[in-house]
A and B are shown apart, each in its own frame.
Chain A
């Protein structure tokens, strides 16, 4: 068991220390890789901004999934469906009103962005309710089947021509079908800073940034600020879910995960608790989906394939289900190592060894191994295709984790489900009751 003895225990600062350590190492690695790839400062800043972005989205999503799976034991494998509904409803509400001849095929209702975001979250929560109502009454695994089916139904619905264009309140709106939607509203950062009257200040800051990045610094600054904004959202998610977990509400969720019949026999209306937990998690998944896709400027239904759901599951399993701290850590490790890592690794290898001469196809790679027991071509081929092998790598990591650290990187971490510390209140005398205890059995 000594292998599993905590990484965090050996780390100064405990869990927080470990998270800081992981983040700092990830950024250092990326900077080193950037140097290896010969990035200039602009390139380095962009690569850091991208890394921060993915750490942010995966941390948010695995926090939301932790509420479902880690706390309540709800097996949701349709995460991506809730993200899709969040994004599409947000687009429907916030896209500008259709004008013939404009760039966009369809319009929206033209409401402010924050209204759209709230509507998107609400829609994701309501979809959660619709999914949960029948499924929660059945055995637990049925929820898994229903959710993954739902996520595919959602994707195909947004792909369908029927919903491509329709009319709401006299506006031509729609979901764009297979060609997708342009998210042609005021950019989110601009909307945010304008709403607090700091847009001018922000633009001034961007100009000042020319000292570091002389030409066109705005995309660079936007990327970094958006990354920081996402980390702010991660903190907000963490705060919300920590309070949710460390409360009587969270206690009932935990009891449902352990044994629903017991919670029921103690007078808890478990269906109600499960539905609330499910809807909250779905709303957060909707929000995370919105924050992921807003900066892309467009959205197509095929982004929302089930693989994204499984990425989030891997992130949660790396960090350890049941722990909010672990969820953040898992999201960060997944984003840095498994999601972005292979691409950087491959680029780095081809930058450092430009004339590696990898075989062009699998046949040429495997041939020498069979005929002359020469493994080098296969090795080169593998390195060259590491990006295509990303899913294989993820699978291997998952298998290794299941064998060696089934409780996740942080090991067995359980946050106590109560608002207060549960040690004996000081006002109470330690009385005789426990003194002669210890003889049970």
Chain B
């Protein structure tokens, strides 16, 4: 299908603040290599311990997979990192700064943005409105700027700049032809594309994708993966939550296996594949 023709790889998705990231290099050594560090994360709901001291790091520019059987605590870990849930104990560090317990919007503004397991498009808004929402620090988000005559022209100017970027990203993801549609009318796959495109427009350093391939047909899966790989080559860091082992094994260079709220093991796909414990965890051998 679309694999034949390469989509235009232009400067759309090039990372604007690679330099900023580079600046960290001189300061703190570890932050460059591992923008995301999770240390002893713990969360329980009532009597059930969902995450029980998980610790791991995600390397800059990598495509890291987080896998585990159902109930291993993947989604909870994800929510703890992105601020949707607050951990009972442990720390989350992003780009060298402690972000434990921050609000989701604060974390997103630091450059770590997430997508949702079930694509959550804003159905009564068009694809274009969905996309225009995403960019950070829009002048017109201040009410008075949007309303005041004169000042509104500044807002208009920025809107025009943003609009161009939005269309470029729409082209990049091959969804320009549905730009005027209400997001609620899109197919499941188009929603996934929209969600990734929208996340990208926030100018993140790192994208956290929560089961982006769940319920996606193989053609679209290939397409999404192609986009992920292209973006990774441009310097974005990815953390991918999946329970499809094969998909993770074939695409990630580093895999973290969660089991019963703890990191069971981590390593390259080959390490993981040959790991007895992992096989046991997945097959429920320890029951």
In the complex, the answer to whether B122 meets A258 with C-beta atoms within 8 Å is yes
CB-contact partner of B125 in A258, A264, A265, under 8 A: A258
> Contact at A258–B109, with CB atoms within 8 Å?
no
Q: Contact partner of B129 among A259, A417, A427, CB < 8 A?
A: A417
Q: Which of the segments B30-38, B157-165, B247-255, B276-284 contacts the partner chain?
A: B157-165
**Per a CB cutoff under 8 Å, which of A254, A414, A424 touches B167?**
A424
Question: Within the complex, what minimum Cβ distance (angstroms) separates B205 from chain A?
Answer: 13
Closest CB pairs A-B (n = 3) = A433-B171, A248-B140, A247-B146
> Are the CB atoms of B147 and A244 closer together than 8 Å?
yes
In contact, B5 and A259 (Cβ under 8 angstroms): no
Q: A248-B146, A249-B140 are in contact. Are A262 and B164 (CB under 8 A)?
A: no
* B residues 141-195 in Cβ contact with A at 8 Å: 141-143, 146-147, 152, 155-156, 159-160, 163-164, 166-168, 170-172, 174-177, 179-180, 187-190, 193
Q: How far is the CA of A240 from the CA of B148 in the complex (A)?
A: 9
Contact partner of A265 (CB less than 8 A), chosen from B116, B140, B156, B163, is B116
B217 on interface, CB distance cutoff 8 Å = yes
Q: How far is the CB of A325 from chain B (nearest CB, A)?
A: 17
List, in ascending order, chain A residues with CB within 8 A of B188's CB. 441
Within the complex, the shortest CB–CB distance from B167 to chain A, in Å, comes to: 5
A267-275, A295-303, A384-392 - the one binding chain B? A267-275
Minimum Cβ distance to chain A for residue B197 (Å)? 12
CB of A428 within 8 A of CB of B164, answer yes
Q: Mark A372-414, 1 if CB is under 8 A from B, else 0.
A: 0000000000000000000000000000000000000000001
Are A280 and B164 in contact (CB-based, < 8 A)?
Answer: no
Cα A265 to Cα B104 in complex, Å, equals: 6
Q: Is the CB of B175 within 8 A of A418?
A: no
Q: Which residues of chain A have C-beta atoms less than 8 A from B2's C-beta?
A: 436-437, 439
Chain B residues in 8 Å Cβ range of A437: 2, 174-177
Please name 20 further chain A to chain B contacts, defined as beta carbons within 8 Å, in addition to the given A433-B8, A438-B177, sorted by A numbering: A248-B159, A261-B84, A419-B140, A419-B155, A420-B156, A422-B129, A422-B132, A423-B180, A425-B160, A425-B163, A425-B167, A428-B164, A433-B7, A433-B174, A434-B170, A434-B174, A436-B5, A437-B2, A437-B175, A440-B189
A305 interfacial contact with B, CB 8 Å: no
Q: Does A77 contact B (CB under 8 A)?
A: no
The answer to whether A267 touches B113 (Cβ under 8 A) is yes
Chain A nearest Cβ from B60, distance in angstroms: 21
Chain B residues with Cβ under 8 A from A431's Cβ?
8, 171
User: A424 — which chain B residues lie within 8 A by C-beta?
Assistant: 167, 176, 179
Return A419 CB to nearest CB of chain B, in Å.
5
From A263, A268, A420, A422, name the one whose CB has the most chain B CB atoms within 10 angstroms: A422
Chain B residues near A (Cβ < 8 Å): 1-2, 5, 7-8, 82, 84, 103-106, 108-109, 113-114, 116, 120, 122-126, 128-129, 132-134, 136, 138-143, 146-147, 152, 155-156, 159-160, 163-164, 166-168, 170-172, 174-177, 179-180, 187-190, 193, 198-199, 202, 217, 219-220, 223
Candidate in B123, B129, B175, B219 with the most chain A CB atoms within 10 angstroms: B129
When A266-B202, A270-B105 are in contact, do A425 and B159 touch as well, CB less than 8 Å? no
A220 to B220, CA, bound (A): 70
**Residue among B1, B104, B139, B188 with the most chain A CB within 10 A?**
B104
Contact check, B143 vs A276: say whether CB atoms are below 8 A apart: yes
Taking the closest CB of chain A, its distance from the CB of B7, in whole angstroms, is 6
* Chain A residues with CB below 8 A from B219, complex form: 439, 441
Indicate whether A194 reaches chain B with its CB closer than 8 angstroms.
Answer: no
